[in-house]
Amino acid sequence: MDSFYAVLYIKTNNLTDEHLSVALLTAGSEGPRVYLSDKRLKLLNDVLHRNTFLSIRRHLKSFQQQVDKYRNANKDLLLFDPTYSEQELNRVSKLSKKTIRYSLPVSVNAWMDEDTHQQLIQQLLGEKPVKVKTVKKSFYHRWKAHCNGNRYIDFRRNILSNKVKRKTETPVRLDLYSKDKKIIVKGLDFDTSPKNVRERLADMLLLCDEFTDFKFFCVYPTPRKKAGRLVLSDAKERLSLKIEFMTFVEFDAHHF
Partner 1 sequence: MEELRPFTISKSILNEPTVLLTEEGRKYMLWCPITDNVRIIHYLRSFMLAHFKIKTFDTAKFSLRGTTYLCFETLEGVTELDEWHYALWENKRKFNQFLKPERLFQILLFEAVFPLFGGVNNKYILAGKKNRVVYHAIPPNNYESFHFNPISLSQQFATSPAYKLYFSYIKEDLPRFLEEFFSLCDERFKIDLKHQLSLFPERRNELWKEISPCFDPKFKTYVMATFNAYLMHL
- Crossing angle of helices 50-72 and 38-47, in 10° steps, is 160
CA dist list (Å): 216 to 44, 96, 104, 182 = 59, 67, 68, 9
> What sign results for the dihedral spanned by CA atoms 172, 230, 190, 175?
negative
Residue 14, interface with partner 1 (CB under 8 A)? yes
- Pick out residues in 68-97 that bind partner 1 (CB under 8 A): 88, 92, 95-97
Which span sits near partner 1 by CB under 8 A: 48-56, 119-127, 144-152, 219-227?
48-56
Residue 202, interface with partner 1 (CB under 8 A)? no
Among 48, 121, 174, 232, binds partner 1 (CB under 8 A): 48
Q: Write down the least CB distance from residue 39 to partner 1, Å.
A: 20
Q: Write down the least CB distance from residue 41 to partner 1, Å.
A: 14
Q: Which residues in 179-222 belong to E strands, given as ranges?
A: 183-187, 215-220
Q: What is the DSSP letter of 131?
A: P
Residue 56, interface with partner 1 (CB under 8 A)? yes
DSSP class per residue in 136-175: PPPHHHHHHHHHTSGGGTTSEEEEEHHHHSTT-SS--EEE
Q: Write down the least CB distance from residue 47 to partner 1, Å.
A: 10
Residue 54, interface with partner 1 (CB under 8 A)? yes
**Contacts to partner 1 by CB under 8 A:** 14-17, 48-49, 51-52, 54-56, 58-59, 62-63, 65-66, 88, 92, 95-100
